[in-house]
């Protein structure tokens, strides 16, 4: 009986959480058009979540692509159709691995930074101080960080995909000696604009999800050292689960 | 001032890289591509009855060595044949004009490529020339169809041969019915 009651309680809590996140998202969306005019703030945040994540994204993209090339080659070789490697690598990169792995890395690299920064601002009463000076902290601090993440994420995913395709090409063509012309021509014949489109839509939605979770967890973190730590952890865990869940939904919608 | 300059530089580089990547994805990995400068070459055409799934960009090879690429696949409405344009590297300019072109498959299920077999003529293929002797792609379904047809035909012959001596006796299967 107690168990049922606990379950009921946690269900209510998670519903309350979901509602709060949704309201927070609507608030951010309402503030966004005005915040876009503050280009200097946005640029600063694109730098923080985008340009600073570039190295980890490019390195991961290279290795993911190389592994894809190696595994794809081993598999396709059994059917004697190694030339399809380009198609396999490009489709896998652009549609799935690019957006998803980038989103997971983005949550780990940029999301945690956002959450801990905002959480620490909360813990050290900087946000309250802003309110005291009649500066809306959401408009001044949260929205630029959110928008910076939303803008940076699709660009990061595109860079990841390109580096990944070149990683697959590196292994497939330079090491395994798949014909370069067949690699690219079969890729071009098989990949359509709709595939690229799916990748872009996915990365945009993941960008919104990851940035929203990070700023929400940070903004509403408990104002203690422990609270900031918990907010950071929750950012990564929630982002990962939400991204993989959304990935399934979007893939199904595009089929 | 200096700090904001490096900040702008970093942001600008990142955004530029991002859009360059998007541009690359839309133009270089799809068929909506842009052609870049090509090394010296000459083009010859060849008409095939059937090119199978030969694609633009497939290699053109002689004796297993790659000489060029397929650059265009068209259709001839007069004799309902496929017109394949082969772009051959200018280094290989001594291909006899009576060479023949065939379409082969790389591996069992791999892509198609055009294989050239040298002829014996003294004149060489030039830009705009046409290869007269061609052999179409082998379509796996046709091959299997022929095989099955041959198989059933020979089986029918066998049965007919077996049935002749047995024809005098009534068949046991008919009796049970």
The domain in which residue B92 lies consists of 41-140
> pLDDT-based confidence at A200, cuts 50/70/90?
very high
Q: Which of B29, B72, B115 should be substituted to probe chain A, the one whose Cβ sees the most A Cβ atoms within 10 Å?
A: B29
Task: Decide if pLDDT at B26 tops 60.
Answer: yes
Rounded to a whole number of angstroms, the distance from the CA of B160 to the nearest CA of chain A is: 40
Which residue of chain B comes nearest to A87, CA vs CA? B29
B19 CB neighbours in chain A (<8 A) are 155
Q: In what order do the strands lie in the sheet with B59-62?
A: B130-131, B41-48, B81-89, B65-76, B59-62, B112-117, B100-105, B133-135
Residue A160: the pLDDT is 94
Quick one: what percent of chain B has pLDDT higher than 70? 83
Q: Are residues B51 and B18 in the same domain?
A: no
Q: Are residues B12 and B93 in the same domain?
A: no
- Domain membership flag for residue B153: no
Q: Are residues B29 and B48 in the same domain?
A: no
> pLDDT-based confidence at B175, cuts 50/70/90?
very low
Residue B1: the pLDDT is 53
**Which pLDDT tens digit goes with each residue over B45-64?**
998 888 888 888 788 888 88
Number of folded domains in chain B?
A: 2
Residue A137: the pLDDT is 87
- Give the closest of A83, A156, A181 to B110, CB-based: A83
- Domain membership flag for residue B97: yes
B17 CB neighbours in chain A (<8 A) are 54, 155, 159
- Domain membership flag for residue B103: yes
> Hey, what are A174's tokens?
């330079």
Residue A239: the pLDDT is 94
Q: Are residues B46 and B64 in the same domain?
A: yes
- Confirm or reject contact between A143 and chain B (CB < 8 A): no
Q: Are residues B55 and B17 in the same domain?
A: no
Q: Are residues B76 and B17 in the same domain?
A: no
Question: Is there a contact between B55 and A185 if contact means CB atoms under 8 Å apart?
Answer: yes
Q: Are residues B101 and B55 in the same domain?
A: yes
Residues A217, A234 contacting (CB under 8 angstroms) = yes
- Domain membership flag for residue B78: yes
Q: Are residues B134 and B71 in the same domain?
A: yes
- Domain membership flag for residue B71: yes
Quick one: what percent of chain A has pLDDT higher than 90? 53
* Paired residues of B83 in beta bridges: B47, B74
Quick one: what percent of chain B has pLDDT higher than 90? 1
Q: Are residues B26 and B81 in the same domain?
A: no
Query: What average pLDDT does the segment A46-72 reach?
Result: 91
- Domain membership flag for residue B174: no
Q: Are residues B47 and B118 in the same domain?
A: yes
Q: Are residues B14 and B70 in the same domain?
A: no
ipTM above 0.90, yes or no: no
Locus of tokens 């360059």? B20
pTM, whole model, 2 decimals?
0.70
> pLDDT-based confidence at A58, cuts 50/70/90?
very high
**Which pLDDT tens digit goes with each residue over A142-184?**
999 999 999 999 999 999 999 999 999 999 988 988 888 888 8
Instruction: Please state, in angstroms and rounded to a whole number, the distance separating the CA atoms of residues A52 and A79.
Output: 42
> pLDDT-based confidence at B166, cuts 50/70/90?
low
Q: Are residues B45 and B132 in the same domain?
A: yes
> Between vectors from CA B173 to CA B167 and to CA B175, what angle results, nearest 5°?
90
Task: Decide if pLDDT at A63 tops 90.
Answer: yes
Buried b (16+ CB within 10 A) or exposed e, A118-144: bbbbbbeeebeebeeeeeebbbbbbbb
């Amino acid at each position: 009986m107690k168990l049922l009651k606990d379950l009921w309680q946690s269900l209510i809590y998670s519903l309350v959480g979901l509602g709060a996140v949704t309201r927070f998202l609507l608030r951010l969306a309402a503030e966004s058009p005005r915040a876009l005019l503050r280009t200097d703030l946005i640029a600063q945040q694109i730098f923080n979540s985008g340009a600073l994540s570039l190295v980890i994204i490019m390195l991961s993209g290279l290795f993911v692509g190389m592994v894809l090339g190696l595994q794809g080659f081993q598999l396709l070789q059994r059917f004697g159709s190694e030339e399809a490697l380009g198609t396999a690598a490009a489709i896998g990169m652009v549609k799935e691995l690019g957006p998803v792995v980038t989103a997971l890395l983005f949550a780990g690299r940029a999301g945690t930074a956002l959450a801990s920064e905002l959480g620490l601002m909360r813990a050290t009463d900087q946000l309250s101080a802003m309110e005291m000076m009649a500066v809306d902290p959401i408009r001044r601090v949260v929205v630029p960080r959110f928008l910076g993440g939303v803008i940076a994420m699709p660009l990061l995913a595109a860079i990841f995909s390109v580096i990944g395709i070149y990683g697959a090409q590196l292994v497939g063509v330079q090491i395994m000696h798949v014909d370069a012309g067949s690699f690219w021509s079969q890729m071009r014949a098989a990949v359509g604009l709709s595939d690229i489109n799916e990748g872009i839509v996915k990365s945009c939605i993941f960008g919104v999800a990851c940035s929203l979770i990070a700023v929400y967890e940070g903004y509403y973190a408990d104002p203690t050292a422990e609270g900031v730590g918990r907010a950071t952890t929750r950012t990564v865990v929630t982002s990962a689960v939400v991204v993989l869940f959304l990935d399934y939904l979007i893939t199904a919608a595009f089929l | 001032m200096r700090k904001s300059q490096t900040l702008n530089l970093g942001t600008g580089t990142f955004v530029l890289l991002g859009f360059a990547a998007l541009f690359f994805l839309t133009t270089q990995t799809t068929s909506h591509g842009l052609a870049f400068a090509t090394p010296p070459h000459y083009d010859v055409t060849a008409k095939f009855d059937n090119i199978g799934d030969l694609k633009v960009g497939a290699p053109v090879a002689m004796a297993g060595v790659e000489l060029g690429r397929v650059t265009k696949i068209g259709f001839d409405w007069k004799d309902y044949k496929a017109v394949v344009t082969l772009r051959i590297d200018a280094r290989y300019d001594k291909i006899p004009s009576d060479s023949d072109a065939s379409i082969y498959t790389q591996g069992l299920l791999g892509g198609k490529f055009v294989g050239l077999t040298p002829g014996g003529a003294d004149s060489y293929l030039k830009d705009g020339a046409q290869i007269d002797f061609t052999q179409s792609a082998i379509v796996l379904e046709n091959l299997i169809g022929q095989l099955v047809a041959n198989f059933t035909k020979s089986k029918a012959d066998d049965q007919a041969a077996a049935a002749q001596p047995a024809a005098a006796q009534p068949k046991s299967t008919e009796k049970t019915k």
